[in-house]
Amino acid sequence: MTSGNPTAPARRDRSSAAVRLRPQQPRQRSRTTRKPRRSVLLTVLTGLVLIYSLLPLFWLLINASKTPAGLFDSFGLWFGEDFALLDNIVATFTYDDGVFSRWLGNTLLYVVVGAGGATLLAVLGGYALAIFDFPGKRAVFAVVIGAVAVPGTALAVPTFLMFSQLGLTNTPWAVIIPSLISPFGLYLMWVFAAQAVPRDLLEAARIDGAGEIRSFLRVSLPLLAPGTVTVLLFTTVATWNNYFLPLIMIRDPDWFPLTLGLNSWNAQASTAGGEVVFHLVITGSLITIAPLIAAFLLLQRYWQSGLAAGSVKE
Amino acid sequence: MRERPPSGHADRQVWTGWGFLAPFMIVFTLVFLAPLGYSIYLSLFRDRMVGGNLFVGFENYQRAIADPQFWSALGRVTLFLVVQVPIMLGIALLVALAIDSGRLYGKNFFRISIFLPYAVPAVVAALMWGFMYGDRFGLVGNINEVFGISLPSPLSSDLVLASIGNIVTWEFIGYNMLIFYSALRVIPHSLYEAAQIDGAGQFRVIAAIKLPAIRGALVIATIFSIIGSFQLFNEPSILQSLAPNAISSYFTPNLYTYSLSFAAQQQNYAATVAILMGLVTMVIAYAVQLRGLRKDA
C-alpha cells in the first residue's frame, strides 16, 4: 500500500488474492451449505412483475405487425388479420424520402462519438481517482456528484445560449459534447478500478521501468475491461435514449436522433393537416429498441459482473 | 502520501493523476460548471425590451416564491415522488430479494427480463404506454369494448399523474432491482452460515443481515429516484400530444422552465426557477443521505 489513498471508496484494503478471485465470485458462490428449496409461490409472485415488465414490449411487437386499419379493429394483445411487419419495416425506412435511416445514422454517430468518448473519459478519470493521489481529489468528487443533482433544465438554457453563441446549435456537436460527460460512469470506474487493479502489480511495472501510460495500457486496461464494458453499455443507453438535449439543441430534422424523429411522427397526428402514421411510430419504436435489447442480452455476462463489482456497499 | 519516500516520485504522481483526470474535467467544466455559473448570472438579471439586461438582484427569486404555477408544479412532483418512489423501490427490492433467495425457478431469466425496460428510451416508453392508455387502439379501449364498460381514461386530468407514475415505475424497477441485487451478491457468505447456526429463518436473515448490508445501495437508489422525480420531463412532455388538456405547460418544474425559456422567451426567469429546483433537490438529497447513512457512522 505504498500509494495509499485515503479517499477511495469501497474495500480497497482487501487482500490482493481476494481481488483476483473476484471475477468468478458472482457466478460460483453457493448461497448456503444446503441449497434452498425452490418455491412455486415465490416464482408466481415474481412472475407478476415479469409479466408487467414484458407486456408492453409484447404489445409493441404484436402491433408492429399490424396494418394501419388493423391497429384499430383488432385486439391489442394479439395479431390482426394481416401480418404486415415486413411491409411496416419497409414503410418506416422509405417514408418521407427515407428520413428514418438518416435519424438512425445520426443516433449511431451520437452514440459512437458521444458514448465512446464518455467511456474513454470516465475510464481515464476513474482510474486517476482510484490509483493516484493528487491535491483536490475530494473536491473533484464533491463537485461532480453535486452537479448530478442540478436539473437538466438549469443547465439546458445556459448551455443552449452558450452553444448558440459558439455557433454549435443545430450541429451534431451540440448533442455530442454534453454526452461526453457521465458522472455515473466516472463513479463506477472509480469504484471498479479501486478493486480490480492490484497496487503491487503497478508497483512491479514501475520497478520494471514502465511509465505511467505504458502501465495503464498494458497492465491496468485489461483488468478494467468488465467495468469498461459496463460503462460503455450504460453511456450507450443514455445517448441512444437521449431526448431532452437534442430537443433543445436541434431544430433541423436532418440532425434528429431517432427519439426526436419518432416523437415528431407521433406529433403529426395532432397537427392540422398532418398525416397520421401511428403504424410507423410503432414499428419505428420497435426498430429503435431492438439494438439495445440485443446488446444487453449478448453482453450480459460482462456488464453484470462489472456492475456487481461496482455495487455500492459501504 | 505518508508512506511514500520523499523523492521526485510523489511529485510525478501528483501530475500523473491530473493528467488522467484532465480530459474529463475540461469537458465537465465546459458542459456543467460554465452553464451553471451562467445560469446563476442570468437569474440575477432581467431582460428588458429596451436597454438590455438590468441587474435586479434577487427580484426573480422573489417572483418565483410568489408564483402559483411554480408551487403547483413543485407540489405535483412532490406528490409524485412520495407515492411513486416507494412503490417502485419496494417492488424492486422484493424482486431482488426473491432472485437472491435462490428459491425461484429460472432466476436468470427473471433478472434479465425485468431489467429490459431500462433499455427502452423514455420516448418509446411514453409513446407505447400512451397508445396502450388510449381508447382508440389501446388496451383500455379494447377492455371497454370487450366488457361493454367504460373505464376512466388514464389520460384524463385526474389520472394522468398516476399514469405517468406507472410509466416511470415500469422503466426503472429493473434498474433498481439490479442495483439492489448486485449489493446483495457481495454480502460475505460467513454471515449466512452464522445465521444458520443460530437457527435464523429467511425473514430474520433479510431483516438482520440483508437489509442492513445493502443500506448504502438503498440510499443511493432513493437519492437518484428523488432527483429523477424532481426532473420529470420526458414522459409528460411526450404524453402532452396525446393529452393536451391534462398536461399543462407548468405540469412539472422542468416543463415549466422549458416553456418559459423556449416558448415564452423568459430566459432569466427560467434560469431562476431551474436554480431553485436545483437547490430544493440538493437539500432533500442531502437530507436523505444524512438520515439514511446515520447509523453507519
DSSP string of A104-115? Answer: HHHHHHIIIIII
Q: How far apart are CA B175 and CA B181, in angstroms?
A: 10
Q: How far apart are CA B225 and CA B203, in angstroms?
A: 26
**Confidence (pLDDT) at A15:** 38
A76 and A157 fall within a common domain: no
CATH code of the domain in which A234 resides:
1.10.3720.10
Provide the 8-state DSSP code for B294. Answer: G
A76 and A118 fall within a common domain: no
Q: Which residue in chain B has the smallest CA separation from A52?
A: B170
A78 and A207 fall within a common domain: no
Q: Is A25 a domain residue? A: no
Q: Is A159 a domain residue? A: yes
Categorize the per-residue pLDDT at B66 as very low, low, confident or very high, splitting at 50, 70 and 90.
Answer: very high
**Confidence (pLDDT) at B97:** 95
pLDDT tens, B9-43? 545 566 788 999 999 999 999 988 898 888 899 89
A60 and A116 fall within a common domain: no
Q: How far apart are CA A9 and CA A151, in angstroms?
A: 26
Residues of B in contact with A153 (CB under 8 A): 231, 233, 253-254, 257-258, 261, 270, 274, 277
Taking only residues 67 to 106 of chain B, the set having a beta carbon closer than 8 angstroms to any beta carbon of chain A reads 91, 95, 98-106
| Grid coordinates given for B216 | 448504502
A25 exposed, middle or buried (CB, 10 Å; 0-12, 13-18, 19+)?
A: middle
Can you say whether the dihedral through the CA atoms of B266, B267, B269, B270 is positive or negative?
positive
- A269 touches B: beta carbon within 8 Å: yes
Provide the 8-state DSSP code for A227. Answer: H
Q: Which phi and psi angles does B53 have, rounded to 5°? A: -75, 140
Which residue, among A111, A313, A65, A115, has the nearest Cα to B293 in the 3D structure? A313
DSSP H or E segment with residue B54: strand B52-55
Q: Is A49 a domain residue? A: no
**Confidence (pLDDT) at A152:** 64
Q: Is A180 a domain residue? A: yes
* Residue that has been written with the C-alpha cell 423514455 in this structure: B122
> Count of domains in chain A?
2
Contact flag B182-A308 (C-beta cutoff 8 Å) = yes
**Confidence (pLDDT) at A310:** 56
* CB-CB contact of A187 with A156 (8 Å): no
CA B289 and chain centroid, separation: 15
pLDDT tens, A18-76? 333 344 444 444 444 456 788 899 999 999 999 999 999 999 999 999 888 778 777 77
Q: Is A92 a domain residue? A: no
First to last CA, chain B: 25
Q: Is A196 a domain residue? A: yes
ipTM of the complex: 0.88
A82 and A161 fall within a common domain: no
Task: Determine which of B127, B229, B284, B296 to mutate to test the interface with A (most A C-beta atoms within 10 Å).
Answer: B127
Angle at A237 between CA A223 and CA B162, to 5 degrees: 130
A64 and A160 fall within a common domain: no
Contact flag A135-B106 (C-beta cutoff 8 Å) = no
**Confidence (pLDDT) at B264:** 82
Q: Which residue in chain B has the smallest CA separation from A139?
A: B25
Q: How far apart are CA A117 and CA A262, in angstroms?
A: 26
- A18 touches B: beta carbon within 8 Å: no
Q: How far apart are CA A239 and CA A259, in angstroms?
A: 10
- A155 touches B: beta carbon within 8 Å: yes
**Mean pLDDT along residues A196-224:** 86
**Confidence (pLDDT) at A218:** 86
**Confidence (pLDDT) at B222:** 92
- Please check the confidence at residue A17 and state whether its pLDDT lies above 50: no
* CB-CB contact of A153 with B270 (8 Å): yes
A303 and A170 fall within a common domain: yes
A72 and A150 fall within a common domain: no
Contact flag B193-A216 (C-beta cutoff 8 Å) = no
- Please check the confidence at residue A123 and state whether its pLDDT lies above 90: yes
Residues of B in contact with A43 (CB under 8 A): 103-106
Residues of B in contact with A162 (CB under 8 A): 34-35, 38
- A57 touches B: beta carbon within 8 Å: yes
State which of A74-78, A212-216, B48-52 shows the largest mean pLDDT.
Answer: A212-216
A137 and A69 fall within a common domain: no
Which range marks the domain in which residue A146 is found? Answer: 110-252+281-309
Residue type, A271: T
Contact flag A312-B120 (C-beta cutoff 8 Å) = no
Q: How far apart are CA B248 and CA A267, in angstroms?
A: 16
**Confidence (pLDDT) at A56:** 94
Query: For residue A3, how many other CB atoms are within 10 A of its CB?
Result: 18
To the nearest whole angstrom, how far is the Cα of B273 from the nearest Cα of chain A? 8
A300 and A162 fall within a common domain: yes
Q: Which residues pair with B52 in a beta bridge?
A: B48
Of A181, A278, A313, the CB nearest to B31: A181
- Helices B160-185, B68-100: axis angle to 10 degrees equals 40
Share of chain B above pLDDT 90, in %: 45
Of B32, B106, B196, the CB nearest to A32: B196
Residue type, B263: A
- Please check the confidence at residue B269 and state whether its pLDDT lies above 50: yes
- Please check the confidence at residue B196 and state whether its pLDDT lies above 80: yes
Q: Is A300 a domain residue? A: yes
Interior/surface letters A196-223, b for 16+ CB within 10 angstroms, e for the rest: bbbbebbeebbeeebebeebbeebbeeb
Q: Is A28 a domain residue? A: no
A132 and A194 fall within a common domain: yes
Contact flag B137-A71 (C-beta cutoff 8 Å) = yes
| Grid coordinates given for B175 | 434498474
A62 and A175 fall within a common domain: no
- B161 touches A: beta carbon within 8 Å: no
pLDDT tens, B92-125? 999 999 999 888 998 889 999 999 999 999 999 9
**Confidence (pLDDT) at A154:** 67
